[in-house]
Structure 1
Amino acid sequence: MLPQAAYRLDPSPVIRSDEVRVAVEWLNLDAASFRQLSEKHAGDGAAVRAEVLGIIGDRGKMHNPVTGSGGMLVGVVAEVGPDSPLPVKPGDRVATLVSLTLTPLVVTDGLAGWDGRGEQVPCAGHAILFARSIVAVLPDDLDPRLSLAVLDVCGAPALTARTVRRYDAPTVAVLGGGGKSGSLSLVAAARSGARRTVGVVPVAAERDRLLAAGVASDVVLADARDPVGLAAAVTGVLGGPADVTVVCVDVPGCEHGAVLATASGGTVVFFSMATSFAAAALGAEGLAADVTMLIGNGYVPGHAEYALGLVRQVPGVRGLFEDRLAAD
């Protein structure tokens, strides 16, 4: 059985010849997982912290049993096996670009420095990286917390860019455009040839922040869980359905709206661990929708460098990330 599918991993600190041990400094819980835990415990940070500790202790990894997702981490390389193919050395500060659901993990400080109210989790412990893990050495010119937030979602803008380039000046709608993956996807779409981009957000405060950042041609208010209302909002501003729709919303129930808001022959990119892929497939069939549906698996070659480059080059999107970190 492969590590992601296993219920429990062995997080022993003794590494094999092709493995790497990392002294963990931060975890970054993925948005869907953190939202589910926070809503389950009605925002009680102590209860969220206790459940995260329980999951890690029980499973030897951070693998939310409800969402099936985890997140990623930042730490310092402590030991590298002689046969490891990973391009790191002891002392490098790195971010893992693979999910915590397949990363052996031990927490040794009881998450004492975390209040349970934000996605970024300061902690002490260790993690093990396999030969086929993906890891990035953190850049010196960016705050490590900013790099962590960007690298957590770096697959989204890279896949968005690849998808947009397959069309001739398409229109692009991004559901959850005010979030981390959504704002980066909007910038990636614009830089990859989209003639118009629309960010879809649920509340006026997010709309105002996104407009001020200047990363989308248009911003509309809509509940992504309301298929008819969402489609009306997107078509109303674009004059028709979007050629490409990117789903970056961290709540379930957005599949049918995304399909309905997408033109015949278009593409829907589901970059959310809250997505029900059965609902997406059966919903498209029920709507007689001729759309291509892609699962954002988090990995595209060069995705880390691409996302960090967007943050360096686009002040608006960097500001959105920094404001989010300041609020956490």
Structure 2
Amino acid sequence: MRTSDPTGLHRVLDEQVVLPQAAQRLDTRKELWSDEVRIRVERLNLDAASFRQLEQKHRTKDGPDGDAVRHEVLDIVATRGKMQNPETGSGGMLVGTVEEVGPESPLGLRPGDHVATLVSLTLTPLVIEDGLERWDGTSEQVPADGYAILFGRSIAAVIPDDLDPALSLAVMDVCGAPALTERIVRTYDAPVVAVIGGAGKSGSLSLAAAKHAGARRTIGVVPFEEERKLLADAGVADEVVIADARDPIALRDAVASAGGPADVTVVCVDVPGCEGGAILATAEGGTVIFFSMATSFPAAALGAEGLAADVTMLVGNGYTPGHAAYALELLRADAGVRSLFERRL
């Protein structure tokens, strides 16, 4: 038996030595190494970029083909031993109940704990045992039965009793965005903060985090009038503007019209081509946080260079200490944010 490694390296089946996230296939055996935890899966949450790609790939003249989406997800998991969309490279997260804990696990979990994993499905060994029969393939949240394995360096949070598990899952799926936004906003003196994709899950939480951290002005950018009205009615942003984030001039001008340029710009949209507009919408010396799996980091780096833009660009890696608890606090404290989340469920 291979020696356990806290990164999960012992479950990689590739010939080349790579970490589980980069692996083509993972070992999904049910038996645990001493520092692992096995979770009985109840629900998956596919990340927005992955679900959008699958939905568009299997769209017919009558709309998305949910059966085809479901079958592709099953095929990905069966083939790779994890849920990692081969086109977007992204996955999501899950909710479940702890079944078994290895004697050397450092995660502090106990059998029976109801948890959400805070690591990506792209590196989590996963087996689906019910054929996803309760999922119609038309939503990001996927009722499921099966099991998943956590490593010594994985992260999971016990789900609070006062929130619906589906709501907790939706929040924890994006909890890295508000935590990092809060950290960066606090490094400025009352900054202007623009959030592109402000009506979405990570976007609305990031707006709330910016306000909580002392932003002088928050600007939510959305693509359509319907989302503008939703975000405005929720009262999460000081200003809400409509712009196609893929149009750099339109995005720059929309943010400027609402009190920009922004000192901090947070990109929370799941479509490619938003890098240039985010850079143009940001003031000299400002910071752009990319929290989208659709981001092209070469485009961002070369775009900033070509625009002679003195901005700091950060990759939101999804983990900041205390991020889950902080996101849940924001949800509880802000009725507007909660209304936006509940509308999505």
State the TM bucket, normalised to the shorter chain: over 0.9
CA distance in 1, matches of 2:340, 2:277: 26
Tell me if 1:237 matches 2:258. yes
Give the drift of 1:157.
0.2
**What's the counterpart of residue 11 of structure 2?**
none
Tell me if 1:100 matches 2:121. yes
Tell me if 1:254 matches 2:274. yes
Give the drift of 1:285.
0.5
**What's the counterpart of residue 161 of structure 2?**
140
TM-score (norm 1): 0.98
**What's the counterpart of residue 181 of structure 1?**
202
What is the DSSP-based 3-state SS (H/G/I as helix, E as strand, rest coil) of the residue aligned with 2:258? helix
Give the drift of 1:236.
1.2
Q: How many residues align?
A: 324
**What's the counterpart of residue 287 of structure 2?**
267
Tell me if 1:324 matches 2:344. yes
Give the drift of 1:231.
0.3
CA distance in 2, matches of 1:317, 1:134: 25
Q: Letter of the aligned partner of 1:233 in structure 2?
A: A
What is the DSSP-based 3-state SS (H/G/I as helix, E as strand, rest coil) of the residue aligned with 1:219? strand
Tell me if 1:33 matches 2:50. yes
CA distance in 2, matches of 1:30, 1:302: 21
Q: How does 1:99-138 map to 2 (within 5 A)?
A: 99-138=120-159
Give the drift of 1:165.
0.3
Tell me if 1:6 matches 2:23. yes
TM-superposition CA deviations, 1:224-252 (whole Å, max 9, x none) = 000000001001111x4110000000111
Q: Letter of the aligned partner of 2:33 in structure 1?
A: R
What is the DSSP-based 3-state SS (H/G/I as helix, E as strand, rest coil) of the residue aligned with 1:243? strand
CA distance in 1, matches of 2:302, 2:72: 34
Structure 2 gaps, min length 5: 1-17
Q: How does 1:159-170 map to 2 (within 5 A)?
A: 159-170=180-191
CA distance in 2, matches of 1:5, 1:74: 23
Q: 1:15 aligns with which of 13, 32, 47?
A: 32
Percent identity, aligned pairs only, is 73
Structure 1 gaps, min length 5: none
Q: How does 1:28-67 map to 2 (within 5 A)?
A: 28-42=45-59, 43-67=64-88
**What's the counterpart of residue 297 of structure 1?**
317
TM-score (norm 2): 0.93
Give the drift of 1:201.
0.3
Q: 2:326 aligns with which of 301, 306, 310?
A: 306
Tell me if 1:199 matches 2:220. yes
What is the DSSP-based 3-state SS (H/G/I as helix, E as strand, rest coil) of the residue aligned with 2:107? coil
